Amino acid sequence: MIGIDEYEDPKIFDLDNPIKDAQKLYDILLSGYTFNKENIVFLKNPKRYEIIEALDELEKKLTENDNLLIFYAGHGHWDQNTHKGYWLPSDATKNSTANWLRNTSISGYISSIKTKHTLLITDACFGGSIFKSRSAISTNYAFQKLYELPSRKAMTSGNLKQVPDNSVFLKYLTKRLEENQTEYLPSEQLFFDVKPAILNNSPNVPQFGEVKNAGDEGGDFIFIRRK
């Protein structure tokens, strides 16, 4: 869980809601789904090296028997000239990309962390640039089949347009997770459940799809309700 409200560079304006949004999602996953506190790393206003260290640690310890959810809320940026997308850690500076984190670096970790399933959820500007495709591929596989096949999926609050600080995406995503009563909820189903509400209440178009060249084989990350 990564939430960034405060930026060291005064030229990058601070945000009000990322940590609060991350905390709400954290609480819902702990109380309603099969996530355990000891397995969650919550980074609040991390610098670039702290995000890298956390991902390095996951790369070392996770195996193909594990599932991984990565959540990021904070500033993002899309460079129209180089066609590169970035996350902006708390030590990012406006006039230098030295402490920015490229989407290609994130997708590289998603590829190298050898989990069964990895799901990336981002609520940041220009998050959609990480995708192999801009639309989800619908499937009628049963839950068991979805779980058997490895997956590397991503869900973002928008494509290449700026995302507002007051997140409609997180509002409806957490609402759906809270209200869900089914035992198994695939991430693709979660996305399509909340997409109409997001489209109807914001100017952004949320995205869902496979992460580029990361080893997706058609499975899905499944949220499992606590009994």
List, for residues 50-71, the tens digit of each pLDDT value.
999 999 999 999 999 999 999 9
Q: CB 200: neighbour CB atoms within 10 A?
A: 9
- Residues spanned by the domain of 169: 2-224
Alpha-carbon torsion (193, 194, 195, 197), positive or negative: positive
Averaged confidence pLDDT in the chain: 88
Tokens found for residue 47: 């610098």
pLDDT in tens, 125-181: 655 566 654 343 344 456 787 888 899 999 988 755 555 556 889 999 999 999 999
| pLDDT in the model for residue 26 | 97
CATH no. for residue 40? 3.40.50.1460
Residue 147: alpha-carbon gap to chain centroid: 19
**Highest mean pLDDT: which of 46-50, 77-81, 135-139, 223-227?**
46-50
Number of domains comprising the chain: 1
Dihedral angle at the C-alpha atoms of 131, 97, 59, 211, nearest 10 degrees? 0
User: At CA 133, angle to CA 168 and CA 29, rounded to 5?
Assistant: 45
pTM given for the model: 0.87
